[in-house]
Structures are given as structure tokens and as C-alpha cells.
Amino acid sequence: MKHASSTQYTFYTPEGFARPVRLSEETRGFAFRSLHHEYGLDTLRNDSVCLDGEPGLEGMTPLERYDLAIRRIAEKAPVRICPGERISLAATLGAAVRHTVPAKANGEYLFPGVSHLTIDFDFVLENGLPGLRREAELAASRFEGTPKEAFSKSVLNALDCFELWIGRYIDALRRLDAENAGSDPAGRGYSQNVRSLEALLAGPPGSFCEAVQCIWACFAFARLCGCWPGIGRIDRMLGKYLRSDLEAGILTLDEAREILAHFFIKGCEWVAGGDCGSGDAQHYQNLVIAGIAKDGSEVTNEVTYLVLDIIEELGISDFPTTVRLSRRSEDRLLEKAAQVIRLGGGTVAVYNEDLIIEAFLRRGYALGEAREFANDGCWEVQIPGTTDFTYVPFDALAILEKQTFRGYNIDGPDNEFPDFESVLRAFSEDLRAAVKGIGDSFKASYRRNPDGSFGGFAAAFPCTVISVFERGCIEKGLSYFEGGPAYQVRSPHIGGLPDAVNSLYAIKKSVFDDGLVTLGELFAILRDNWEGSEPLRQYMLNRYSYYGTDNDEADGIAARILGEFADFCDSQNEGFGYDFAPGVSTFGRQLEWAPGRLAAAHGRKQGEVLAANFSPTPGTDTLGATAVIRSYCRCPLVRMGTGAALDVRLLPQCVKGNDGISALKGLMRGFVSLGGFFMQIDVQDPGILLEAQAHPENYGTLSVRVSGWNARFVTLNREWQNMVIGQSLGGDKTFGGDKTFGGDKDLRGNAASGTEKSKEN
């Protein structure tokens, strides 16, 4: 295992690279303990609070039971103060790690948690908890005696519980300081922690340290109560506080880095090791940095670079961080992002700010709001603090195989599909039906007026803690799930699209263009899972250039299908209180879908794990990263209202030295100029992944990008590990064999066209 550090605390670093050491020994030790399970294992020892024996529990409404649960959580959750921590509060109940409100009655959890949203930290930063309480009290008086009274009282209960919980920490910190008076070797104690928490109870934060504590407090209380919110634009929120403190000489940049590093380290408090299925860091606590603000001014500031510094030094992957880039982005930002990306772990990803703002404007958002976009705690874009978001994934490849081609059991397919256009039209109709089915399922769950029009959002399980931090809920007297936020987004996500495209393209070429087989003959071969037809299978695998190789013809099929998918989603938007916004993802479901898929025409056998998100099928990205990006950007990505993810996996040796930094910067600039949406770059050596699989004890902090989240590789189960390794092994990860990511064509389109592979192949 390779490390780079001048201290005793070491974090995984790829061979040939080094991590800088800027943080204190104390802070690095705190990070090391947290990443090596000390606090996560402590959390798992205390699962939940028990409500058995509470008077009148059985006769309570669900909201009353929820209010009681939140109160007992605030009263009884263990207080944990880590040695030397610079910010305080912790989510110390293990059931919350499983996305559940950590309260039980009769041995059963009562309520699920809420995720896929970024909450409204801005209001508390601007007004403090007293401002939030004033708003809640005004709403409670306004709704007294109405059906909304119960929710308004629940909001006040949640605020009471939040303040009670903070008060418990203030008392514990004071006791700890009193007990350790004169014996603290650092001489700092916890007086600043106490001042920051008291400031939160008294009003808006007045310093950088208080602002960091304010954001952490809101986030930690939500996750203590079983919810997994995103954090969003941390540099935009904290930048003014840091500038003010630096100008006033209150703290130095190094001191600010220490404080912010403790925010990151506290975010590892659920790291517990072991087999966690899809990974140990899937808690949606994503950050977004850089880009422009609501008024169009540049956000990038000192905090932007501190965030990247901390990820670079400690390798903490629990806060997947996306950099908003545009054609205006300064070279310094790209340089720093490239330095962090090449250390691997996949922690830093890229948004194309220009295209995403345009996508929001097309969907009717105001310009100022569009500029404020962040994500839902994963990578799907939304306006933070104002959006109730749900997505529904489906498998386009399964639709093609099982509906359009009816499991390849069609009598006379050559007559039913006399040309390729008829195949595309049939698939399009099946895709339309799938989207309509998703839309109908949403519409059926809402209240209707007598005339059949939208009558409101149906009641759902209580979620007051999250509702407190979403603009609109308190003033409307409606919870997060009942129409409280300004925007409700319901997003069908098409998965398996690259494989559906490749299968269609293989049929076009082999049947209709080259006449190698008839469609009926090919269907018979696919029914037999290519048995006895290995030469043809190899021809399909190796002769044709598929999506991801900058092939106009294959990419054109992808663009047509994606455009039609967007049309079908838009057609479902009439008369209901939500935006039916399309997106492209799999989020690892290609592993779940694989056993039910049939053999595919592009040479794939039944049950293979295929393409992730909108990335090429493993093994087909033969012309390098630039060809992949050009194929992806040829599609109408601006119509994807919630996003379309592209995964790019690179070998460490390709990004070494100054040439590697320059190449990564060029890759990011090309992605933006060509009109990409979202790109996840992970630099990994598949050989190291195989070694980590064999010797997990040596690779505890090795991180990989899984989809919209990161995970310590050794906490993925065997299936997920094999999928990540397979994605890393598939295709040519040497950028087409040159140092400029070029392959046959660079990002400006020079040199040869990306059509069929040469006959020598």
C-alpha cells in the first residue's frame, strides 16, 4: 500500500503521487481515527430510542407519534464529543445510518427518512434559529383552528427539539472544559465550540467558525433524525464569512482550513467498515463549488480552494464534490481540480454550468434561481432548499428486448420489421408507453378535483424535520411531501440507453446494411444466447464502432432516442403540480438488471453487467476519453431536466506530471465547450483494485466512484467490486494511445472521422 505523508497518519495515495501536508498533526489524527471506524462503530452501538410504554402512544396520530419520536431522539441520543473537535454535534443513533427515523415501538421502526434533496441552509445563516422560530410562530398563529394547525405545531416541536439537543452539547462541552482545566496540552479546550453553538441559538452567525458550525448543526440534526440531505454550495454560503474574518485578522487561511477540515472529518462519523453492499458512504451529503451566484457574480473564493485542499490532503470521499465549470472558469480552478482528480477516488466531478442553467430556463425557472442550482445530494440537479424530488429508473434495453422484440419470439420478424426505421418506430412507441406508465402512476397518487384536475398532493408519512429546512413548508403549513416546497419534480430516468443504442446499431449494420444475417436468423441466435455462433458474436463485438467512439451514425441513434424520450416526458406535464423532467442514470442498477436481460445484438450474452449511466458499454470505448465525450455531447443533453451522468475512468499513469494536469484541464474544458452536462472522472488502476479485493486489510481508505456517490472499495460487496473492476478494465484507458486524450480525433474534431473500425480489426 502506497502512502505519502510526513506524519504518522497516512491516507491511501496512488503509486507515483504525493499528498500535501498542510493540516496539523492533531487534525490529521482526528481524520485517521474517523476514517478507521472509531466513531462509526460507536454510532452502531446505539441503534434507536424506544417508545414502548409512552402514555397514549397507541391512540396518537402518525404526526403525534413522529413528534414524540423526535423529542425522545433529542433528549436521549448519546452525546459524542471527539477529542480536539472544532465543531460539535453528532448523529449518534445507528438506525439513522440506514435512512430510518431512529425510533422504535413494539420492535418496529416507525418512519422512514427523507433524502434526494438539498436543504435550505441560507435561511438559518441569514436569520439564525430565532429567525426560523419567528417564522414558525407566525405560521402557527395564522393556521390556528385550521387543518394546518397540527403541522404548524409539529414545526415548533421540531425547533424545540433542535434547541434542546444543542443545549445538551453546550452543557457537555462546558463540563468537559471544567474537568480538563489546566490539563489540555493544546490549551484550546472547547470554549469556541460553546460560543459557536450559543451564537446559533442567539441569532445569525458572525464569523467563519460560527457559520461552519451553523451548517453542520442543521445537517447533523437532520441526519440524526434519519434524513440524508445534501449540503450544496458550501463556498457560496461560507465565502463572505471567511473574507470578513481574514480582512479583520480574526483568523488566518491555515486556521480556516483546520476548521473546515473538521467539518469534513465529522462527516465521516458513520464510517464503520465491513461489507456495506453498494458502499459505506452513500448518504447523499454532496457539495457543489464554484460557478456563478444568483446575480451572476463569480462564486469561486478562498473556501472553494480550501475544500479542494482538504480532499487532496486527507482523501476523504464522504462529501462527493462537483465543480461548476463554464467557458469563463479561471485556469487556477481547473488546475486545482485536476490536481485533486488525478489522486483518484472519484471525489471531484464536473458540472457544465452554462448548459445546466439553460436547461432550467427551458423548464420555466427564473434566471436567478437557475443560477443557484445544486444537486439532490447525489448528482441530479435541483434548486436547493425549494425542491421535492423523486426519480423513477427504468431499463431501456429490457424494453427493447422484451417488449419491442418480445423476447425475440416473433413469427416473421423480417416482415414485421422490413427496414431499420420500422424497428426504431416500434421501440419509440414502447418507450412512450413506459414513460406514460410512470406518469400515470404519479397522477394516480394525487388528489383530484371533481372535474379530474389536480387537487393537491396526497398525505404522506410525517417528515417535519426536513420540512423545517425547506422554503415554503412553514409559510404554507404543508410538509415536504404535501406540496410545501416551491417545486415538485418527478423524474423518469432512462437506464440501459447505451446498450439499447448499441443493440439497435448492431442490427442496423448486420441485418439492414451489411446483410450478414436476416432479422429472424439473428433473433434465433439471440434466443440461444449466441450458442454455436461465436464467430458472429466476435464480429459484432469487434467490427462495429458503437456509442462512445465518436461514430456519427451510432451517436445519431442515441440522440434520436434521447430526444424522443424528452418529448414523451414533456407530454406528461399537463395539469399536475409537478415537473415531469427527464434524466439518464443507472446508479449501479445495471448490476440489478443484468440477470433479467437477454442476449444483446452487440455481442453481449445473457446476464452480462453492461453500461453505467450514459457511459459506453464496458469494452466499447476503444478510442479514448475524447471520443466518449464527443459521443455523449452529440445528444440533446440540455433537455434532460435533472441530468445525464457520464463516467470516465482513467489510469494513473495517464495523468502524471505536468502533461497529465494539462490533459485533464483540456478534457474538462472540452467537456464544457461541447455541451456536456455532468462528468464523473475516476482515476484508478484496476490492478490495485484487484489487490485490494484480495487484501482488503491493506486498503481501508481506498475510495472509488460508484455512481453519484463514493465508497471505500473494501466496503463494496463482491458483486459491486467486480462491477467497478470490470468498468475499469473495459476499453482503452490510455486516451487513444497519446498524451493529449486524442485517439483518432481530438475535442476540436481534427483528423480522422470516427466511423467503422478498420478491416484489420
Task: Determine what percent of the chain is predicted with pLDDT higher than 90.
Answer: 83
What is the reported pTM?
Answer: 0.93
Residue closest to 65 by CA, chosen among 115, 110, 101: 110
Task: Confirm if 202 and 89 have CB atoms less than 8 A apart.
Answer: no
Task: Determine what percent of the chain is predicted with pLDDT higher than 70.
Answer: 94
User: pLDDT (tens digit, 9 = 90+) per residue, 72-128?
Assistant: 999 999 999 999 999 999 999 999 999 999 999 999 999 999 999 999 999 999 999
Neighbours of 552 (CB within 10 A): 13
User: pLDDT (tens digit, 9 = 90+) per residue, 172-189?
Assistant: 999 999 998 756 545 579
User: pLDDT (tens digit, 9 = 90+) per residue, 494-547?
Assistant: 999 999 999 999 999 999 999 999 999 999 999 999 999 999 999 999 999 999
User: pLDDT (tens digit, 9 = 90+) per residue, 385-422?
Assistant: 999 999 999 999 999 999 999 999 999 999 999 999 99
Helix, strand counts (H, E) of the chain: 27, 20
Of 132-146, 275-289, 632-646, 724-738, the least confident? 724-738
Query: What integer pLDDT is reported at residue 450 of this predicted model?
Result: 81
What are the extents of the domains in the chain?
25-285
Look at 429 and 708; give whichever has higher pLDDT: 429
Query: What integer pLDDT is reported at residue 445 of this predicted model?
Result: 76
Average pLDDT over residues 698-705: 90
Q: What are phi and psi of 304, to 5 degrees?
A: -50, -50
If you average pLDDT over every residue of the chain, what do you get?
A: 92
514 backbone φψ class: left, alpha, beta (φ>0; ψ -120 to 50) = alpha
Query: What integer pLDDT is reported at residue 709 of this predicted model?
Result: 87
Query: What integer pLDDT is reported at residue 758 of this predicted model?
Result: 32
User: pLDDT (tens digit, 9 = 90+) per residue, 559-573?
Assistant: 999 999 999 999 998
Average pLDDT over residues 740-746: 36
555 pLDDT above the threshold of 70: yes
User: pLDDT (tens digit, 9 = 90+) per residue, 249-279?
Assistant: 999 999 999 999 999 999 999 999 887 888 8
Query: What integer pLDDT is reported at residue 737 of this predicted model?
Result: 32
Query: What integer pLDDT is reported at residue 410 of this predicted model?
Result: 95
* CA distance linking residue 535 with residue 530, whole number of Å: 9
Average pLDDT over residues 351-366: 97
Task: Confirm if 132 and 159 have CB atoms less than 8 A apart.
Answer: yes
CA angle, residues 215, 220, 224, in degrees to nearest 5: 160
